[in-house]
Amino acid sequence: MNCPICQLPNVSLMHTPICPRCGTDLLQMDMHETIESRFKTVLKQRLALEGEVALFKKKEEQSIAKRARKRNYWLLSGLIVFLGWRAYQKPMVLKRDFLRKSDSLALIVHQLEWMKFRFDTLNRQLPCVKKIRYPYQQGDYLGKLGKMFFNKESAGYQIGIDNGIITPEQWTKMKPGDTLNIYIR
């Protein structure tokens, strides 16, 4: 092995860990190279994991979009069938019948909108990759926890929803030692 500083050949064959020409401590240089190679290995592993997480998120978004398109297709086809069936019904003669039937149609439309809203809210959450139990400490607030775990203060809102904390009154009832569940998605 040559000295990494002065390039003196065959320094490793000598019995001293110090280069005779420049005085470099070869054992310390070897330790730094080992630490640097470990750091590079860990960095490569972290980048690979981040790439896998990004790919997983992209696949999940595609899956959600596909389900939304399928839902919209079924809603539209059901509406077309309903309107076709409605067109062949006998014409309404009385104003009272017209109002009653238009109210029932408005109720059906309202129920369809409610079902769509529930479907969207149920499918909005990504699956949980990791769950962390965090003990509440004096002075914590949702924005601080969002910044700490997700690097975004706005993520604290999701932490509150996951733990059933929606109003400020619920947050003020928290005591030091109470645990919060933080879901990493």
Say yes or no: 111 and 164 in one domain: no
- Give me the pLDDT at residue 62, please: 92
Give the number of other CB atoms < 10 A from CB of residue 19: 20
pLDDT (tens digit, 9 = 90+) per residue, 153-181? 888 888 888 888 888 888 888 888 889 98
Beta-sheet pairing, 179-184 with 130-135: antiparallel
Give domain status of residue 94, yes or no: yes
Say yes or no: 137 and 116 in one domain: no
- Tokens 């309404």 locate to 92
CATH of the domain at 162: 3.10.350
Give the number of other CB atoms < 10 A from CB of residue 142: 21
- Give me the pLDDT at residue 37, please: 77
- Tokens 């069938």 locate to 81
What global pTM score does this model have? 0.33
Instruction: Name the region of 7 (left: φ>0; alpha: ψ -120 to 50; beta: rest).
Output: left
- Give me the pLDDT at residue 66, please: 92
Say yes or no: 45 and 99 in one domain: no
CB 131 within 8 A of CB 180: no
DSSP state of 131: E
pLDDT (tens digit, 9 = 90+) per residue, 114-149? 777 776 665 565 666 788 899 998 888 888 999 999
CB 177 within 8 A of CB 135: yes
Give domain status of residue 17, yes or no: yes
Say yes or no: 78 and 113 in one domain: yes
| Tally of structural domains, the chain | 3
Say yes or no: 117 and 62 in one domain: yes
- Tokens 């409605």 locate to 86
